[in-house]
Amino acid sequence: MESGLSRTAVDSAEWQAIPVFERPLHVGQPNIGDRAMFDGLVDQMFERRWLSNDGPLVQDFEQRIADFAGVKHCVAMSNGTAALEIAIRALGLSGEVIVPSYTFVATAHALQWQGITPVFADIDPLTHNLDPESVRRMITPRTTGIIGVHLWGRPAPVRELQEIADEHGLQLMFDAAHAFATTLGGKRIGGFGRAEIFSFHATKFFNTFEGGAVVTDDDEIAAAARLMRNFGFAGHDNVVSDGTNAKMTEVCAAMGLTNLAGVDAVIETNHRNYTAYQDALSGIPGVRLTQYDEAEECNFQYITVEVDDGPVSRDEIVAALISKNVLARKYFWPGCHRMQPYRDLYPDAGALLPNTEKVAARVIVLPTGTAVDEDAVASISEMIRVLTGGHAL
Ligand code: T4K
């Protein structure tokens, strides 16, 4: 390797002594619930010969998610991106909508895809969530709404964003793709803004293979979302709005019902891993684990560390971890504003997003979930300790 890393770390006896994992440890390796329960639900599904289109498993799933999140309505969708697109349409957003750049690209694409301009605001470097002051600076006469993202499952500044929205007559919704089973001020995420969306993708700690939902207390939004996910049908032969096909299938709902029954155990495992990472990484200079507020309910699904510039770069650390079969990720580098089509559309956006640029260059996401045990956490943490210069050796 042509870098400082080869001299400082990966050629060292400490590095060589750490074994390569036999099987790759992925970020986002799915948690899989009780197979017997899943099989039972799928057997019933086949027995009924009802596979999609608002079937009984989807209806049961929706009711349970609404109860869990403490909201009036859950409209299940084929994935989180479809849920975003439909929520955006149901809210009537148009013109420009303010979003963070430091998020998965789906948040921006869901707007751009429908001819709405995503305007990127900067983040708070500590919380990684939208900076309300930056949001204020991005408002123009064309702005119709704000989409906050509860990044890593840590709540966005909901109160401040609501104040800005109210002051300027803007709609507010949240991309809660990461935030199922988390709270803000003791209230479950799901009921903030006019609507929120969840992702239940395979890589989320709670998954339905692919899936998502629009959750809301607003009857009008729920009714519109329900129509739009099924081509606008309000009954046989009766199309009353525009729409698409964003329906959740019965087999996905079966997976959701199964995983919901085991969700507490998964959170417990995630919490155990988070605490183990915290203990093992604390005291390593230049390495900071992103903290969860344990006074709230957290799902602990993302283990993110920020590494300062040092003799070894973030990218070199990630490459070295991958060589040991630890498939760490650089989410959400380089920021949406540096991805297409936004990079060409707004080549100078980076100047307005200094914190996004800094944080995106520092973050490493590490594996967790039920596929990762405490020995694995110890070994990965040891790798990071050695790679960052062996300060604590
Ligand atoms: N908003 C936010 C803030 C989001 O983070 C997301 C999705 C969305 C909206 C949109 O929701 P969806 O429409 O996806 O429901 C992955 C996921 O595909 C994506 O759902 C997720 N965010 C994002 C953070 O991660 P990629 O491009 O990183 O996927 P990929 O294929 O590289 O897989 C990620 C890791 O998971 C890999 O290390 C492999 C591992 N993996 C993946 C799958 C599917 C497994 O081990 N097993 C598997 O079955 O986007």
Label residue 390 by pLDDT band (50, 70, 90).
low
Label residue 391 by pLDDT band (50, 70, 90).
very low
Q: What pLDDT does residue 317 have?
A: 96
- Cα of 331 vs centre of ligand 1, distance in Å, is 10
CA dist 334 and 316 (Å) reads 16
Among residues 261, 286, 314, the one where a domain terminates is: 261
State the CATH number of the domain containing residue 67: 3.40.640.10
Over the stretch 184-203, which tens digit does the pLDDT of each residue have? 999 999 999 999 999 999 99
Among residues 195, 228, 261, the one where a domain terminates is: 261
- Do 216 and 90 share a structural domain? yes
Residue 219 lies in a domain: yes
- Cα of 198 vs centre of ligand 1, distance in Å, is 13
Among residues 238, 261, 284, the one where a domain terminates is: 261
Q: What pLDDT does residue 392 have?
A: 39
Residue 108 lies in a domain: yes
Q: Is 389 helix (H, G, I), strand (E, B) or coil?
A: coil
- Do 272 and 255 share a structural domain? no
Residue 2 lies in a domain: no
Q: Note whether 160 and 134 are within 8 A (CB).
A: no
- Do 163 and 289 share a structural domain? no
pLDDT of 4 above 70: no
Q: What pLDDT does residue 202 have?
A: 98
Which one-letter amino acid corresponds to residue 262? G
User: Looking at the chain, which runs of residues are DSSP E strands?
Assistant: 25-26, 73-77, 96-100, 117-121, 143-149, 171-175, 183-184, 187-188, 195-199, 212-216, 287-289, 303-307, 326-327, 363-366
- Cα of 11 vs centre of ligand 1, distance in Å, is 33
DSSP state of 337: G
Find how far residue 302's CA is from the centre of its chain.
9
Q: How many helices (H) and strands (E) does the chain have?
A: 15, 14
In the chain, the number of structural domains is: 2
- Do 273 and 172 share a structural domain? no
Assess whether the C-beta atom of 27 lies below 6 angstroms from ligand 1: yes
- Do 198 and 68 share a structural domain? yes
Assess whether the C-beta atom of 117 lies below 6 angstroms from ligand 1: no
pLDDT of 311 above 90: no
Label residue 247 by pLDDT band (50, 70, 90).
very high
Over the stretch 249-289, which tens digit does the pLDDT of each residue have? 999 999 999 999 999 999 999 999 999 999 999 989 999 99
Assess whether the C-beta atom of 386 lies below 6 angstroms from ligand 1: no
Label residue 7 by pLDDT band (50, 70, 90).
low
Residue 25 lies in a domain: no
- Do 347 and 306 share a structural domain? yes
Residue 131 lies in a domain: yes
Q: What pLDDT does residue 82 have?
A: 98
Residue 26 lies in a domain: no
Q: Note whether 215 and 74 are within 8 A (CB).
A: yes
- Do 322 and 252 share a structural domain? no
pLDDT of 2 above 80: no
Ligand 1 atom nearest the C-alpha of 200 is 15
Residue 1 lies in a domain: no
Label residue 11 by pLDDT band (50, 70, 90).
confident
- Cα of 15 vs centre of ligand 1, distance in Å, is 30
Round the average pLDDT of the chain to a whole number and report it. 96
Residue 24 lies in a domain: no
CA dist 227 and 239 (Å) reads 9
- Do 287 and 209 share a structural domain? no
pLDDT of 9 above 90: no
CA dist 113 and 259 (Å) reads 31
pLDDT of 3 above 60: no
- Do 278 and 196 share a structural domain? no
Largest Cα–Cα separation, the chain: 72
Residues 306-319 have a mean pLDDT of 91
Assess whether the C-beta atom of 150 lies below 6 angstroms from ligand 1: no
CA dist 138 and 120 (Å) reads 8
Per-residue tokens: 272: 């155990």
State the CATH number of the domain containing residue 352: 3.90.1150.10
Half-sphere exposure of residue 231: CA atoms within 13 angstroms, side-chain side: 8
Assess whether the C-beta atom of 378 lies below 6 angstroms from ligand 1: no
User: Which residue puts its alpha carbon closest to atom 29 of ligand 1?
Assistant: 203
Q: How far is CA 195 from CA 35, 66, 95, 173, 190, in A?
A: 33, 13, 19, 5, 7
- Do 299 and 248 share a structural domain? no
- Do 324 and 236 share a structural domain? no
The boundaries of the domain holding residue 383 are 7-19+263-388
CA dist 163 and 124 (Å) reads 18
Q: Note whether 70 and 62 are within 8 A (CB).
A: no
- Do 41 and 107 share a structural domain? yes
